[in-house]
Amino acid sequence: MSTKLSLHEIIPHKTDVGALANRINLDTRALHNKIDKWVTLRFALALRDYRIYRQGLQSFYHVFATVERNLYEQLDSDGEWKDLLAKVWKPEMARRERAEQDLLFYYDDDKNKFLTPMMPAQIEFVNHINEAIKEKPYILFAYLHVMYLALFAGGRVMRSSLGRATGLFPQKDGLKHEEVIKMGTNFFHFEVPDEETFRLLYKRDYELMTRNNLTETQKQEIIEESKYIFEQNARCMTELETHNMARIKSKWAYILVRQGYNVVLILLALLAIFLMRKVFTGLF
C-alpha cells in the first residue's frame, strides 16, 4: 500500500520495542492469531446470510458506540486526559454512526432491534468499558489502538470479501446491487483522501502522545486491557454462535416432533383402514 509519508515520518518503527502500540501487538499476538482464525472461518458463513452478519456487526457496534461516548465525554470535559486524547483522535476514525447506518439498513430502519445490547457478553463488555474508563480514562488508549487499528488490517480483508459477497445483501426495491452494497458497508469505509496515510498519521500521533505522557504502570494497565478486549470480543462471538446453534437445534427438534406427530397420525389412519377392512371382510 502506497503512502504520502517519507520513511523517517513513519513512527514508530516496527522494531521499536518500547512503543506502546508494538508492545500491545506483541503481548496480544497469540490472542490475535486465535480470533483471526476464528473470525475468518465464521465470516465466510456470515457472508452467505445477512442475518448472521448483522449480529456480528451489532456486537462490534456496541463496543465502538460505548468507546466513542466515553471518549467524547473526555474530550468535552476539563479532565487531565482531554488534551492527549484530542491529539490522537481523528473524527474520521469514528465508527458508531457508520455502523448505525449499516445496521439500520440490515434491520429495515428499526433502531429498536440493535440500539441496546441484549446478549449477556455484550452487556458485560459495555458495562466494563464504562466502568474502566470512568475510573481510569487513559484506558481509552487500549481501545484507540486495538479496536480502531483492527479496521485497517483485518477490516480491509473483510471489506473486500463483503464487496464480493453477492448473496449477503437483502433485496431493496428500486436499488441497483452497487447501491445496496454501498448502503450496507459504511462501517468499513473512511472518508479520507488516503487511507494508508491516515492510518500512519494516527499511529504516529498515538506513539508521540503515549511515549512520554504515560507511566510504565499505566502502559502495563493498557496492555492488560488490550488482552481483555481480544478475549471479550471472542466471548461475544462465541456467544452468538452458541445462541444460533441453540436456535437451529430447537427448530430441528420442533420439526422432528411435528414429523413424529404426523407419522403417528398416518400409522393410526392405516391401522384404522386395516381394522375396518377386516370388519368388512368378516361381515360379507
Among 11, 19, 20, 21, binds ligand HEM (CB under 6 A): 21
Touching ligand HEM, residues 197-226 (CB under 6 A)? none
Concatenated DSSP letters of 102-123: HHHHHTTT-GGGTSS--SHHHH
Count the site residues for ligand HEM by CB under 6 A: 16
For the record, the C-alpha cell of 68 comes out as 466513542
Q: Does 45 bind ligand HEM (CB under 6 A)?
A: no
Sequence-distant (≥ 6) Cβ neighbours of residue 133 within 8 angstroms: 67, 70, 74, 139, 140
Alpha carbon distance 52, 243 (integer Å): 11
Inter-residue contact 122 to 233 (CB < 8 Å): no
Please identify the residue of the shown chain whose CB is closest to the bound ligand HEM.
154
Residue 267 amino acid letter: L
* Helix 140-150 / helix 50-75 crossing angle, nearest 10 deg: 140
Q: Chain centroid to CA 75: how far?
A: 25
Q: Does 39 bind ligand HEM (CB under 6 A)?
A: yes
Among 30, 123, 153, 269, binds ligand HEM (CB under 6 A): 153
**Residue 32 annotated as part of some ligand binding site:** yes
Q: Does 150 bind ligand HEM (CB under 6 A)?
A: yes
Least CB distance to ligand HEM at residue 155 (A): 8
Q: Does 146 bind ligand HEM (CB under 6 A)?
A: yes
- Residue 261, SS3? helix
Among 35, 126, 129, 200, binds ligand HEM (CB under 6 A): 35
Report the binding-site residues for heme b: 32
Q: Which residues bind ligand HEM (CB under 6 A)?
A: 21, 25, 32, 35-36, 39-40, 145-146, 149-150, 153-154, 157, 230, 233
